[in-house]
Structure 1
């Protein structure tokens, strides 16, 4: 479904990723965990076309998308819910969700039943349904995160990238976000997840990669990594 092979990427003269490789099989949830600065968000940006890789390959459904512009990768079926939410603040909740389906509405992806999908997205997050006509910029931080995630599923994507979905949220909202991820997993939605709460990420994942200084240091089934002494010591203690 999604394959990253020997990926190098960075910013200006600084290389952040030094040849990482990973796979996200169809219908699985894969987590990318690591400390701040390890290269997790850079990986997501390179996959979705927000930055151009320096070397390596990115395959989506077998198609090479390396270096393509973000809008072209989106039309091929990759949805990115980025770190920091990035909703459209002057548009309503409903219109933000419809923008997630924009490639379907212009015919660059199969249209399907957009109205039904809109209702489903809001049913997943009842708070959004209550605020469907409210401007996105007036929502709380937690509600904006819900909106960003719900907008991603409106694409009917092959793969969803979720970058730090719980960042800055109160504990009760974090639980709600992970319930949403768990529900999508039960529906076999393919996801690559970057998350600060490593234990929670591993609980909803099938497989995981640990990034250290732009390289994959450990990988394996999520259940095994939860019991790995090195992973536990580095990422699963002190509130993680």
Structure 2
């Protein structure tokens, strides 16, 4: 790796800077609370709420090219695009942020997806069109990958802060576009996508903090006593150890 690549990011550094840990943890907690409140509010429902109806009215894309665009964005959260994104992001995370980055990608988004599909959907049992809807699985997939990318990008301190924030804003815009596509295509209610974003933030940011804590613990406990240095051995302390053997 060249010198410029080496300076791109600290591969052994923390995913979340120590001064930012409090804000990141608070964001994860707030996201989890919002998701929990929405899950309680819409548990067992099949109809749209008042907020759902208002937002859906703004995203009416049932005809022409607009519908095709909505379906295109919605498809980004499908299994194949998500699998490809994970395969591309994992080695990139390793290259940029080392073991911590790789652990974030391999643990964060998959855990968020499993939480949505196998835990929350069966528990909440909100349906649309006969299918479990809360939280949105497609939105969770894209949002969790976007949050993981955001954590990695913000760690590239060699880049100007404005450029890093612009990249994060672009990732957020992609998530919103996917959610809007699912709403306009009448696959999910707006609150389904909001709950999915909450899951992604809570899980992926929580995983980032957990990876840092675990890696720091391993680093601290890995410092062991190497024992006496043979280069400073004094034969006068143990004269028998330097006697020739017969």
TM-score (norm 2): 0.29
1 or 2 for the larger relative contact order (CA 8 Å, sep ≥6)? 2
Which has the larger Rg? 2
1 or 2, which has the higher strand percentage?
1
TM-score between the two structures when normalised by the length of structure 1 = 0.29
